[in-house]
Structure 1
Amino acid sequence: MTQQLIAHIQQLLPGFTIRREQLSHFFETIAVKKDTVLLSEGATCDTIYFVNQGCLYLFYDYNDKREVIHFALENWWLTDYKTFCDSKPAVYAIAAMEDSEITCLSRANYEAMLLQFPVMALYFNKIHERAYGAALYKQKTFATTSKPDFYNYFRRTYPVLIQRIPDEIFASYIGVSPEVLRQLQAAFVS
């Protein structure tokens, strides 16, 4: 368990008093290389990931193409929330977009930790509320905004993130071909 994760918990739960040593055995921190697949579609989803450094992305394969639906940067959590709760086969996959350091929490350790430290349920509830809100906002924005307007919105709202995302992955995320993305990029510059 990293100091970064403790700081993130303290940010969302002011007055958090559980010592790091009491929680550390529930977590495992690992380094993963760019393009490492952490979860494959159809595999059992039994881990939730906290990004200390780097970037992960959530996707599914469709017609031999990765369809990207979400990113997780530093201080974000990511899993296949559809199947993490019931250990069914994953409907999404997770991969590292960059060399990354991540802290892993297995489903078994997640449940054991919540039983031993119920206040952590409040922390994860805040995480899940934010994630769900962001997913709903993206869905609305996607449905009500043209591709050029969505690109411009994303570019202005997340200028650092857009520099980190490879064009192929970002094109998939906004639902356009790489060629259309190049046109949007050119139009944004002019």
Structure 2
Amino acid sequence: MIKAKAHPFFDHLNQFITVSEKEFEIIHSYVSIKRLEKKQLLMEANGPCNHAYFVLKGCLHMYFITEKGTERTVQFALENWWITDFLAYQKHLKTDFFIQAVEPSEVLSIESESLEKILQEFPKLERYFRVIFQIGYGSSIMKMKYLYDFTKEEIHFHFTENFPEFAQRVPQYLIASFLGLTPEYVSEIRAKKRS
């Protein structure tokens, strides 16, 4: 039997809605736990996207590979964040993205059909996912604003100052990829700041 009160997903749910320990046991029965080594792939481009992942421990990044062979990170996920290609997940399509562990990680995995069953059984979870998706969508729009509005240097400083948990845990080349910069340019910016 799972101890709800000691579980990070139980705590996370209860930040947005009220879930009892008994309800959590039922909800938890629909998910599985995956443990990942550093750099292990969780999802691959051109494969099915049937699962969404909630990060219990660790850090993941979602990326695609350009026609020139360059990796472009589109999302990071730390503890208490969801990650998947939500469009492919919802429409049962193949994904264009990879998801990889940045560090050893542990995630909850839920199949799209299982999520539908949970939402029917616990309608209040609709509110939870609505709020989570609104936050995620809002963050994506702000990223687009920064890309249009800030210089490359400002984008880097804004990110590292406002999201220090990423700057401390994520390698610089992945941060560069996420911000649309080259690792060499990020090194130049950092050296300039130190001098």
Same fold by TM-score greater than 0.5: yes
In structure 2, the residue corresponding to 1:51 is in which secondary structure?
strand
Which residue in 1 is equivalent to 2:19? 16
Which residue in 2 is equivalent to 1:70? 75
Shift of residue 82 of structure 1?
A: 2.0
Which residue in 1 is equivalent to 2:176? 171
Q: Give, as a single letter, the amino acid of the residue that structure 2 aligns with 1:16.
A: V
Whether contact under 8 Å (1:82, 1:91) holds in the other structure is no
Shift of residue 154 of structure 1?
A: 0.9
Matched-pair identity in %:
26
* 1:135 maps onto 2:132 in alignment: no
Distance 2:122 2:24 in 1: 12
In structure 2, the residue corresponding to 1:34 is in which secondary structure?
coil
1:110-129 equivalences under 5 Å are 110-129=115-134
In structure 2, the residue corresponding to 1:89 is in which secondary structure?
coil
Whether contact under 8 Å (2:10, 2:19) holds in the other structure is no
1:34-113 equivalences under 5 Å are 34-62=38-66, 63-113=68-118
Matched positions, count: 189
Ranges in structure 1 where 5+ consecutive residues have no aligned partner: none
Q: Scaled by the length of structure 2, what TM-score is found?
A: 0.92
Distance 1:86 1:158 in 2: 32
Q: Give, as a single letter, the amino acid of the residue that structure 2 aligns with 1:130.
A: I
Q: Scaled by the length of structure 1, what TM-score is found?
A: 0.95
Ranges in structure 2 where 5+ consecutive residues have no aligned partner: none
